[in-house]
């Protein structure tokens, strides 16, 4: 020890149907590795080494990506980061800070909590009849019609409090009712909620659950009624002591105003369950958040001793004592990168393969019916092959130059050599698909020029 085991192999996913091209195919190629070290310092070193290796791989491909803080999910562990390639067609949403290098998967975003406020001197809570306030918007309309104010200003949706009732089932346990408090201007993000409670299973309370618990009045649930009936209450980080809210009064057609956290109700903990929006405050004063879409191309975890302890793995350490090793897990989506390169690097003509992973280094095209030009093109393809380059040679006799050019653009090899009309003057045309540049070079210099451009 330390030791790292890895594999690159075909894997299978139990999808109902493939979708999003090869992004969600049932069969895909993945590289994954696992580090085993004897202490946490070794795990940190292995984790950093994999992180740097992945960065070098993605940088060599020219991929635009972000390293995002992520939740560990079902894998568990103490730390987790995702590598997300920026793409409008991506299936993951992540955030970036406008004034810093912070990036995170939406599920992992931490909401900055405001400072607690003084409770003394705040108006007493008061219950109101609200027969027509059946939605958050109509509740706000009612509050304004009553002239309710918060901090000397008219009430806003941010001053209302939703009480979401869910059932949480811990592994091996029974479902337990739990209240989740959210500012009224925010929708619940179930993925964030589930990630916050991993590995427990979360589901919304059903009509049957409401019927079994008469203190739950649908549409009018409040934090006090939940706490009074021994239901755990988890709150959004913005619900700090001293904040005043308009919320359900645990009775039909009734709401309560000036419900102050820390005075009129308390919470059992805080939870990230509210939706994230463009323009939300970024952590540590790094400006605001922007929302982007991405394709997951890598994920690294510090698993710790979760699995080695579960499987009772013990190794003799340097002192001859039996010790439990610590693990890291590191995955990279090989076939997903094909989709990423196609999404990020195509133009209106076709693909544009990076030199490092192009199926062929150079595409040789005959664009002249002259026999001498055809023979010269064949010789050039052979010389390029002998020089160690991978060559695709378009010598189709009954296909016009225009079609051949279009096919070359579509296939997207980084370099295209055209042996055409210029051959009579001893030149060939060299097109660079990555830069869009076209130059004429001497036929005799073609092999050396192409080798240099291809890095061979």
In order of start, what are the domains of the chain with their CATH numbers? 3-109+280-345 (3.30.930.10), 126-270 (3.90.960.10), 362-454 (3.40.50.800)
Tens-digit pLDDT profile for residues 312-360: 999 998 888 999 999 999 999 999 899 899 999 999 999 999 999 999 9
Beta strands 362-366 and 391-394 are: parallel
Q: How far is CA 57 from CA 23, 64, 68, 297, 318, in A?
A: 19, 12, 17, 11, 34
Q: What average pLDDT does the structure give for the chain?
A: 92
pLDDT at 76: 63
Give the confidence band of 450 by pLDDT, cuts at 50, 70, 90. Answer: very high
Report percent pLDDT > 90 for the chain. 78
Does residue 98 have a pLDDT over 80? yes
Its pTM stands at 0.81
Q: What is the pLDDT averaged over residues 87-106?
A: 90
Q: What is the pLDDT averaged over residues 308-315?
A: 94
Tens-digit pLDDT profile for residues 372-411: 889 999 999 999 999 999 999 999 988 999 999 999 999 9
Tens-digit pLDDT profile for residues 293-302: 999 999 999 9
Among 294, 289, 451, smallest CA distance to 386 is for 451
CA dist 344 and 336 (Å) reads 12
CA dist 299 and 30 (Å) reads 11
CA dist 221 and 214 (Å) reads 11
pLDDT at 452: 92
Does residue 72 have a pLDDT over 90? no
The H-assigned helical ranges of 167-238 are 190-197, 207-212, 223-228
Q: Under 8 Å CB-to-CB from 135, ≥6 apart: which residues?
A: none
């Amino acid at each position: 020890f330390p030791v790292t085991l890895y594999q690159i192999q075909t894997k299978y996913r139990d999808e109902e149907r493939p979708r999003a091209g090869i992004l969600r195919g049932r069969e895909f190629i993945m590289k994954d590795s696992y580090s085993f070290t004897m202490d946490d310092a070794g795990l940190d070193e292995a984790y950093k080494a994999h992180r740097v290796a992945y960065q070098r791989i993605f940088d060599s491909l020219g991929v635009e990506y972000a390293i995002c803080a992520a939740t560990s999910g079902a894998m568990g562990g103490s730390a987790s980061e995702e590598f997300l390639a920026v793409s409008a067609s991506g299936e993951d949403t992540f955030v970036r800070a406008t004034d810093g290098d912070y990036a995170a998967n939406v599920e992992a975003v931490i909401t900055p909590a405001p400072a607690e406020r003084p409770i003394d001197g705040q108006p007493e809570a008061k219950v109101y009849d609200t027969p027509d306030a059946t939605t958050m918007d109509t509740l706000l309309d009612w509050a304004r019609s009553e002239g309710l104010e918060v901090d000397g200003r008219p009430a806003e949706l941010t001053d209302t409090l939703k009480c979401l009732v869910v059932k949480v089932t811990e592994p091996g346990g029974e479902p337990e009712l739990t209240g989740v408090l959210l500012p009224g201007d925010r929708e619940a993000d179930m993925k964030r909620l589930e990630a916050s409670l991993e590995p427990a299973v979360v589901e919304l309370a059903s009509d049957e659950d409401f019927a079994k618990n008469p203190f739950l009045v649908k549409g009018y649930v409040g934090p006090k009624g939940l706490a009074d009936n021994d239901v755990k209450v988890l709150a959004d980080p913005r619900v700090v002591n001293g904040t005043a809210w308009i919320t359900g009064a645990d009775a039909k057609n009734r709401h309560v105003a000036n419900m102050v956290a820390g005075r009129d109700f308390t919470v059992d903990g805080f939870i990230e369950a509210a939706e994230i929006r463009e323009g939300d405050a970024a952590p540590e004063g790094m400006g605001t958040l922007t929302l982007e879409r991405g394709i997951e191309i890598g994920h690294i975890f510090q698993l710790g001793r979760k699995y080695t302890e579960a499987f009772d793995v013990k190794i003799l350490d340097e002192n001859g004592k039996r010790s439990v090793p610590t693990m890291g897990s590191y995955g990279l989506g090989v076939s997903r990168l094909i989709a990423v390169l196609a999404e990020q690097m195509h133009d209106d003509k076709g693909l544009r393969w990076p030199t490092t992973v192009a199926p062929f280094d150079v595409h040789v095209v005959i664009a002249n019916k002259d026999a001498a030009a055809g023979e010269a093109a064949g010789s050039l393809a052979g010389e390029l092959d002998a020089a160690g380059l991978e060559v695709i040679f378009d010598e189709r006799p009954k296909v016009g130059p225009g079609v051949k050019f279009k096919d070359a653009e579509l296939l997207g090899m980084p370099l295209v050599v055209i042996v055409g009309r210029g051959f009579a003057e001893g030149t060939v045309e060299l097109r660079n698909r990555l830069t869009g540049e076209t130059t004429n070079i001497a036929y005799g210099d073609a092999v050396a020029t192409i080798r240099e451009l291809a890095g061979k």
